[in-house]
């Protein structure tokens, strides 16, 4: 059970590209991606991390390919990966060709630093022949020398200028299966750059605040930057860049999309911060439920409110709700209606049971 969003976000209609079996752009769901931090040549560890990331809800996973050993490892990695693999390539055009030939479904490159036109043509030819898309990755920290000289510093106009230059390189070779990013670690610079680019280009956009930092500050910066753009209808795929476990990046990415009603996956918990009115330990209860229900992928809304001030109102808008009551008697709501009283000691098991029943009910209707 959920109410219609107060404001529906109208996404900009972009071109549709394919990254393996994942479609990016158009009306397709906004995809979430992350990046491994293992050595790619360590095949076993890389496969495990890729699949752990996918289990958390990633649609795409990127891996670094700094050397030949890494690109050739892709041949085995892609056989066992649960999602299409994006190869992260910098400077070495042969690594891009090898990655495409060994199973990568997208190449993250900056065509401007790959080399001369012959090398770029070879990369694009390999991408075409292997049904491999490309992400043009413009970054404020690695702009072309002449563009920096022209604009004196990284600014929205400089990032967009670089993006347009690289777009032309691909278009001149009749290559159109690509997406673009114009990232910066500065939230304002990133937002302004994406807004400018979105006005003049219809290719799908990969959103991110690059090098956002550790878990808390990085999550906040990413939520502000990416969230602002998504609310403008801009963005087709996102990556949260944290100095943390890649799984945390996927969690935050999915939470941003859930908060904006752009995509729903798993249990969405609405909970109060707790206070002296709470009739049960709200904070501990929520932490336990998040862990116990983390395996569920079916979209369900759950409210956990410690007292009757806001509890009934929140419960009316969620599939399952708990409102704290006196003397350890809490009220369970199902589909917005009072169902039964639940003792505090039984609260967690009762909620888990009701969530699992709701999942079965939803799945059986499909």
- Please identify, among 213, 229, 259, the residue that sits at the C-terminal boundary of a domain: 259
- Please identify, among 243, 259, 275, the residue that sits at the C-terminal boundary of a domain: 259
Structural domain total, the chain: 2
Q: pLDDT tens for residues 245-291?
A: 999 999 999 999 999 999 888 999 999 998 989 999 999 999 999 99
Q: Which residues contact 217 (CB under 8 A, 6 or more apart)?
A: none
Question: Is it the case that residue 118 has pLDDT exceeding 80?
Answer: yes
Q: Is the pTM of this model over 0.85?
A: yes
* Residues 111, 141 share a domain: yes
Question: Is it the case that residue 167 has pLDDT exceeding 50?
Answer: yes
Question: Is it the case that residue 1 has pLDDT exceeding 60?
Answer: no
Q: Is residue 286 a part of any domain in this protein? A: yes
Q: In which domain, by residue range, is 229 found? A: 17-259
What pLDDT does residue 360 have? 93
- Residues 351 and 345: their CA atoms lie apart, in Å, by 12
Q: Is residue 287 a part of any domain in this protein? A: yes
Confidence band (pLDDT; 50, 70, 90) for 4? very low
* Residues 291, 178 share a domain: no
* Residues 310, 254 share a domain: no
* Residues 206, 136 share a domain: yes
* Residues 284, 252 share a domain: no
Q: Is residue 2 a part of any domain in this protein? A: no
Question: Is it the case that residue 67 has pLDDT exceeding 80?
Answer: yes
Is the Cβ–Cβ distance between 315 and 323 less than 8 Å?
yes
* Residues 176, 136 share a domain: yes
What pLDDT does residue 258 have? 93
Question: Is it the case that residue 103 has pLDDT exceeding 90?
Answer: yes
Closest CA to 340 of 328, 329, 349: 329
* Residues 167, 45 share a domain: yes
Confidence band (pLDDT; 50, 70, 90) for 179? very high
* Distances from the Cα of 356 to the Cα of 13, 137, 266, 307, 352, angstroms: 37, 42, 12, 24, 6
Q: What is the mean pLDDT of residues 65-93?
A: 95
- Calculate the CA 64 to chain-centre distance: 18
* Residues 290, 159 share a domain: no
What pLDDT does residue 7 have? 62
Q: What is the mean pLDDT of residues 38-42?
A: 96
When mean pLDDT is compared across 107-111, 154-158, 239-243, the lowest value belongs to 107-111
What pLDDT does residue 2 have? 47
Q: Is residue 7 a part of any domain in this protein? A: no
CATH number of the domain bearing residue 165: 3.20.20.20
Question: Is it the case that residue 61 has pLDDT exceeding 60?
Answer: yes
Question: Is it the case that residue 159 has pLDDT exceeding 90?
Answer: yes
Q: How many CB atoms lie within 10 A of CB 310?
A: 14
CATH number of the domain bearing residue 284: 3.30.413.10
Max CA pair span of the chain? 77
Q: What is the mean pLDDT of residues 124-149?
A: 94
Q: Is residue 3 a part of any domain in this protein? A: no
Q: What does the angle CA 240 – CA 246 – CA 248 come to, to the nearest 5 degrees? A: 70
Question: Is it the case that residue 3 has pLDDT exceeding 50?
Answer: no
* Residues 339, 199 share a domain: no
* Residues 324, 234 share a domain: no
Q: Pairing between strand 329-334 and 320-323?
A: antiparallel
Mean pLDDT of the chain: 93
Q: Is residue 6 a part of any domain in this protein? A: no
Q: Is residue 242 a part of any domain in this protein? A: yes
Q: pLDDT tens for residues 45-58?
A: 999 999 999 999 99
Q: What is the mean pLDDT of residues 215-244?
A: 97
Closest CA to 361 of 1, 57, 55, 2: 1
Question: Is it the case that residue 80 has pLDDT exceeding 80?
Answer: yes
What pLDDT does residue 365 have? 84
Q: Pairing between strand 106-109 and 85-88?
A: parallel
């Amino acid at each position: 059970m959920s109410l219609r969003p107060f404001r529906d976000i109208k996404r900009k209609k972009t071109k549709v590209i394919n990254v393996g079996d994942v479609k990016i752009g158009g009306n397709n769901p906004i995809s979430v991606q992350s990046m491994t931090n293992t050595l790619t040549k360590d095949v076993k560890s890389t496969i495990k991390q890729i699949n752990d990331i996918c289990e958390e809800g990633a649609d795409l996973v990127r891996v670094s390919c700094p050397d030949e050993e890494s690109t050739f490892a892709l041949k085995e990695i892609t056989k066992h990966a649960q999602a299409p693999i994006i190869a992260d390539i910098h400077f070495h055009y042969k690594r891009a060709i090898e990655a495409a030939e060994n199973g990568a479904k997208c190449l993250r490159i900056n065509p401007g630093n790959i080399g001369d036109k012959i090398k770029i043509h070879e990369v694009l030819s390999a991408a075409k022949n292997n049904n491999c898309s490309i992400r043009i990755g413009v970054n404020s920290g690695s702009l072309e020398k002449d563009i920096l000289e022209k604009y004196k510093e990284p600014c929205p106009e400089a990032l967009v200028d670089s993006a347009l230059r690289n777009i032309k390189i691909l278009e001149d070779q009749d290559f159109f299966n690509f997406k673009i990013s114009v990232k910066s670690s500065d939230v304002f610079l990133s937002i302004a750059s994406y807004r400018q680019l979105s006005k003049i280009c219809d290719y799908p956009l990969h959103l991110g605040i690059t090098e956002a930092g550790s878990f808390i500050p990085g999550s906040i910066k990413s939520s502000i930057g990416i969230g602002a753009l998504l609310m403008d209808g801009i963005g087709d795929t996102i990556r949260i860049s944290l100095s943390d476990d890649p799984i945390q990046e996927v969690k935050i990415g999915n939470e941003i999309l859930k908060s904006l009603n752009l995509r729903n996956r798993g249990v969405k918990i609405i909970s109060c911060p707790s206070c002296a009115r709470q009739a049960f330990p709200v904070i501990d209860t929520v932490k336990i439920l998040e862990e116990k229900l983390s395996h569920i992928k079916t979209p369900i809304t759950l409210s956990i409110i410690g007292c009757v001030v806001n509890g009934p109102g929140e419960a009316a808008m969620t599939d399952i709700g708990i409102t704290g009551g006196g003397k350890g008697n809490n009220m369970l709501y199902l589909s917005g209606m009072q169902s039964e009283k639940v003792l505090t000691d039984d609260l967690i098991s009762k909620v888990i049971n009701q969530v699992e029943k709701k999942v079965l009910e939803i799945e059986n209707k499909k």
